[in-house]
Structure 1
Amino acid sequence: MTAWTTSRSHQRWLHTESLRLLAFGRGAVPTSGGAGWLDDDGVVDPTRGVFTWITGRTAHVYALGHLLGVPGAGPVATRAIAALSTALHDDDFGGWYASLAADGTPDTTKSAYAHAFVVLAASTATVAQIDGARALLDDALAVLDERFWDPAAGLSADEWDRTWTTLDPYRGVNANMHTVEALLAAGDATGDVRWYERAAMIADHVVGWAAANEWRIPEHFDAAWAPQLELNADRPDDPFKPYGATIGHGLEWARLLLQVDAALPGRAPATLVPAALALYDGAVRDGWAVDGAPGFVYTTDWAGAAVVHTRMHWVVAEAIGAAAALHQATGDPRYADDYARWWDYAGEFLVDHERGSWHHELDTSNTPSAEVWPGKPDLYHAFQATLLPLLPLAPGLAVAVRDGLTIR
């Protein structure tokens, strides 16, 4: 049988799925006020307000759609970029609010996580020549550099108050992970290699922490970057700061390490590629079908035992991207086999063939649930899973799509 990774029919299916996802979310940004939280039918839930991270992800996805030549995608990206430049931007103190409540009241927290998605959105939209994107990118990179980057640590801080007066002592790997993704995109959009180099610096720290913990990545740290391994043990299914090791992040980092290595050929830390293999293998070992049912559990403890068994859609999307990247980097057929296995699971349990998009959360019987992620908030993880298998490890998605750099 022809491997899915080289099958033209599978490539056509990926393109069809990307178009189906774009159709589902086309109403996510009805105005320049930002992207809404989508319900199970792709309708904005007005009670949830507008989040900067969702707006950034939506701008990124629809700018990619515009680069793919999908009619109507460009206007969605344009409205999302406009929202990041106006409604969600703090004109008084700089940077971006975390969110706007349904009544328009801002959450004035300045988080590295949200700012990373502003950089990602502006980078992709710059490549797509969306109005206002380059000015937004210059602003966002300056804020990321001046406010969040800690040169002594070689890592990003996590959260400030509105006036940039008080820095929260919490430090996190999640924000740094998305900062790596954003910096790679920024390097592509600007041609400035220092953003790749900064991404490599962050990645090298994470590899060291993971290697010291049997390839389970510590997620939470104090202000001195000492791991806080028991943080949130009392609320282990937190959507952003769960207790223990997060399976999906092991998979996501595996792909990102390969992309950092490809962005800096011959100059990236030599540890990145072997670490990518180890992270992927560890996540699959600890996370896949460990409770007798197919699917990845959400989190484990530090011995690898499952803690939160809920299946999140984004974890499978990242498994797809990681397997595709590892197959491209190594040629090892076992990654092609995994790739098909992860897509089979997604097609059977996650892809909503009736109402559109993907179920964002499943319970242990692989039935849709909504304990952590109600509705279908955004398209980012699923959409990227349809593009990553078709494109090289470097440059990133936007430039690769623009320049037609398919690997098949």
Structure 2
Amino acid sequence: MGSHLTTDRRARLLSVLRVQYPDALADHGFQLLDPVSGEPYSNGRRHLVATCRSISNFALGALVDGPEWCLDAVDHGLQFLRAGHRRADGGYDLVVDAAGEPVDRTRSAYGHAFVLLAYARAAAAGVDGAEADLERTHHLIEERFRDTAGMLRSDCGPDWTELEAYRGQNANMHACEAYLAAYEATEGARYLERARQLAETIAVDLATETDGPLWEHYTPNWEHDFTYNEDDPRHQFRPPGYQPGHHVEWAKFLGLLDRYGAGEGDGLYTRAHELFDAAVELGWTDDGFLYTVDRNGDPIVSDRYGWALAEAIGAAAVLAERADAHGDGDAADRFRRWEARLIDHTDAFRGPAGLWYERRSASEGGGPVVPEPPGVEPDYHPAGAYFESWRSLRKGA
């Protein structure tokens, strides 16, 4: 049974990539594809996050011994990341055109976390030069984004001046993901320590002030900002409220930290369970997760986003493997049932072309909504989920 499931998860990952390849590869960088037609969007813009996510996707394909074109696609993406997004001071512009000319020169903390992830995944896949760029990006983040609390500060202009007095858990969460990937690629203890620090601050220490759930927004002193963007509930990257999808994402990362022995005792393992269960309590609806809920647990945006479903798959896979490692057979069985249940819902988020819709709208009869360009590549989430399920199954075999 385990061997069958491992084969299934590898096949699911590669099916995501086969839909992308070669159509997502433009003459310069990657282009977002329409989930209905499979045709590329025509605006010609390149979003830093989409570039990095696509590099990561194809690197995962290489890590599961996928076709040779996986590495070809990684090299293609790295070329544009370095030549199109990177500037002379080492920073990366958020949005550029196909020629690499700046459209939005924001130095995004969130975006730079994905730069670190892209180089880490490429380094793990054995791409020449990726580990050196990984190290340079780590030093850049430490110099430009690390604040006095040891966390990532907010977005900056091209002169590295902060654009607003803000701190956010989302950029720090993805930095944790990237540092975990950097550790996996290099076994560098400093990367694991940074991942642990970010995780414990956001998912453990700050959550004590909300009795467990994870708020999204903070002041520069890392005090909860419960009014941030309350008038913009559909903000693409910073909506107000609790996000169940981020709870399962953090559950996955805490499970990985437990796997690598970065916590003390069973604390992170136990906390990972709590966050997964909180996501289910806050947002599971039997056809996906609510996007956001308020402090009382009432829905703010009831749309079901595909990325949240995918992250829950990855989290369930990690936690099943960790439960086995801790000798907790009942929990392992429960998370495996969750993983299977979540996978059963994935077809509802796939368009006719095989690509994932961004979300299903609660206000339009549950109908799917396609991402608008310059999108951030939604298939990164299912690709990562199937990769994590694949390696968790292999580790637990």
The answer, yes or no, to whether TM exceeds 0.5 is yes
The DSSP-based 3-state class of the residue aligned with 1:175 is helix
Q: Give the 5 Å matches for 1:46-61.
A: 46-47=42-43, 49-61=45-57
How many angstroms apart in 2 are the aligned matches of 1:197 and 1:268? 13
Amino acid in the other structure paired with 2:396: I
4+ runs deviating over 4 angstroms: 267-270, 371-376
Q: Identity rate of aligned residues, in percent? A: 32
Partner residue, 1:228: 225
1:301 aligned to 285, 294, 314, which one? Answer: 294
Please give the alpha-carbon distance, in whole angstroms, between the structure 2 residues aligned to 1:208 and 1:7: 37
Any idea what SS the aligned residue of 1:389 has?
A: helix
Please state if 1:11 is matched with 2:35. no
- The aligned counterpart of 1:397 is none
Deviation at 1:406, TM superposition (A): 4.4
Flag the 1:286–1:9 CA change in 2: closer, same or farther, 3 A. same
Answer whether contact 2:55 2:74 (CA < 8 A) is retained. Answer: yes
Query: Unaligned 5+ residue runs, structure 2?
Result: 324-328
Q: Which residue pairs with 2:391 in the alignment?
A: 391
**What residue is the counterpart of 1:321 in the other structure?**
314
- Cα RMSD of the aligned pairs, angstroms, is 2.3
Q: What letter is aligned with 1:141?
A: H
222-231 or 369-378, which deviates more: 369-378
| Residue pair 1:58, 1:380 contacting (<8 A) in 2 also | yes
Report the counterpart of residue 285 of structure 1 in structure 2: 281
SS at match of 2:142: helix
* CA distance in structure 1 between the aligned counterparts of 2:264 and 2:152, rounded to whole angstroms: 19
Q: Tell me if structure 2 keeps the 8 A contact 1:37–1:378.
A: no
Higher relative contact order (CA 8 A, sep 6+): 2
Q: Which residue of 2 aligns with 1:359?
A: 357
Kept after mapping to 2: 8 A contact 1:216/1:282: yes
Which residue of structure 2 lines up, in the alignment, with residue 21 of structure 1?
16
What residue is the counterpart of 1:242 in the other structure?
Answer: 239
Does residue 82 of the first structure (1) align with residue 79 of the second (2)?
yes
Q: Distance in 1 between matches of 2:241 and 2:372?
A: 17
Of the candidates 107, 112, 122, which is equivalent to residue 110 of structure 1? 107
| Letter of the structure 2 residue corresponding to residue 72 of structure 1 | W
TM-score (norm 2): 0.90
Structure-1-length-normalised TM-score = 0.87
Aligned CA distance change for structure 1 residues 132 and 194 (closer, same or farther; 3 Å): closer
Aligned residues of 1:286 and 1:300 also touching (Cα < 8 A) = yes
User: How far apart are 1:99 and its partner, in Å?
Assistant: 1.2
Q: Number of aligned residue pairs: give it.
A: 383
Contact kept, 8 Å, 1:56 with 1:118, in 2: the verdict is yes
Against the structure 1 CA distance between its residues 220 and 269, is the aligned structure 2 distance closer, same or farther, given a 3 Å change threshold? farther
Q: For 1:32-43, what aligned pairs fall within 5 Å after superposition? A: 33-40=28-35, 41-43=37-39
1:342 equivalenced with 2:339 (yes/no)? no
* 1:61–1:380 CA contact under 8 A, matched in 2: yes
AA in 2 matched with 1:11: T
Partner of 1:271: 267
Aligned residue number for residue 206 of structure 2? 209
Displacement of 1:378 after TM fit?
4.0
Match of 1:308, SS state, is: strand
Q: How big is each residue's C-alpha offset from its partner over 1:137-195, in whole Å with a ceiling of 9 and x where there is no partner?
A: 12211111111112x31211121111224463211000000000111111222332011
> Could you tell me which residue of structure 1 aligns to residue 41 of structure 2?
45
Amino acid in structure 2 at the alignment position of 1:52: L
Work out whether residues 246 and 299 of structure 1, in 8 Å CA contact, stay in contact via their aligned partners in 2: yes
For the residues of structure 2 that align with 1:318 and 1:60, how far apart are their CA atoms?
15
Q: Distance in 2 between matches of 1:381 and 1:281?
A: 20
Preserved contact between residue 20 and residue 357 of structure 1 (Cα < 8 Å): no
Residue 66 to residue 28, structure 1, CA distance change in 2 (3 Å): same
| Equivalent-residue separation in structure 2 for 1:376 and 1:199 (angstroms) | 23
Deviation at 1:283, TM superposition (A): 0.8
Aligned residue number for residue 98 of structure 1: 94
Deviation string 1:60-87 (CA, Å, 9 cap, x unpaired) is 1111212323231111110111111111
